[in-house]
Amino acid sequence: MYLIVGLGNPGAKYHNTRHNAGFFVIDKLAEFFKIESFEFENNYLYAVTDHKDSQGDTKQVVLMKPLTYMNLSGNAVKEFYEKYEISKENILIIYDDVNIDLGVLRMRPNGSDGGQNGIKSVMYEMETDEIPRLRFGIKGGKEYEKQRSDEGFSLADYVLSAFEEAEYEVLERSVESAKNAVLSFINNGIAETMNRFNGSTAEVKNPAAKPELKPGTQTDTQPENERENNTN
């Protein structure tokens, strides 16, 4: 079993914000797997799909969106981990990183939290930094540096802001590339995926001849959840 977790904040207020990059990737994966909706379990939404690679091997994948708000994301991950006793090496946490430019991805098998409260919560609850993660760059380049130099600039406000229209093309490419990186993680492992996808999404390396994942199916109902908590 593989657990793919996208971090973000639930609710319409945060739907299109930079901090919800993890949710964007989960939605793109759900589209790939033809998942129409998610099930509700305590403090997260999830969907399960079985699919086969071109070698005929079946792999079970769980997509998750924590509903705890960003700062308590680890609660949902720990709950699922303890319930299903999944291997930590088969967990992948996807989250936004304001220290990386939009259009850049970074996958690693471990590491520090880098000041991102969502992965910080996951590491705290799981009691280890040995958790694979995919960092999704959200920094807006020169525009970000310009805003940062302004008096009264708030990093918290920036990560909770919406993407600019001029960023949409790169954002779309990044989400698509992140989806493909997740599929590679499942199919080929983290080392090969890092070699291929780490860096600019405009320069993704062509893979060697490898089996591609085939989408599965899942249909369930998705409830609303509007609990308030820390968001950044």
Residue of 4, 9, 19, 140 marked active site: 19
Indicate the pairing of strand 58-66 with strand 133-139: unpaired
| Residues 102 and 167 sit within 8 Å (Cβ to Cβ) | yes
**Lookup: tokens for 134:** 């995919």
How far is 29 from 221, CA to CA, in rounded Å?
Answer: 17
How far is 129 from 52, CA to CA, in rounded Å?
Answer: 30
Give the other-Cβ count within 10 Å of 161's Cβ. Answer: 16
Phi-psi region of 229 (alpha: psi -120 to 50; beta: other; left: phi over 0): beta
| Residues 68 and 45 sit within 8 Å (Cβ to Cβ) | no
**Residue 19: active-site member:** yes
- As separate numbers, helices (DSSP H) first and strands (DSSP E) second, the chain gives 7, 8
Any residues with CB less than 8 A from the CB of 182 and at least 6 apart, and which?
A: 4, 25, 29, 92, 94, 134
How far is 52 from 6, CA to CA, in rounded Å?
Answer: 23
Q: Which residues are catalytic?
A: 19
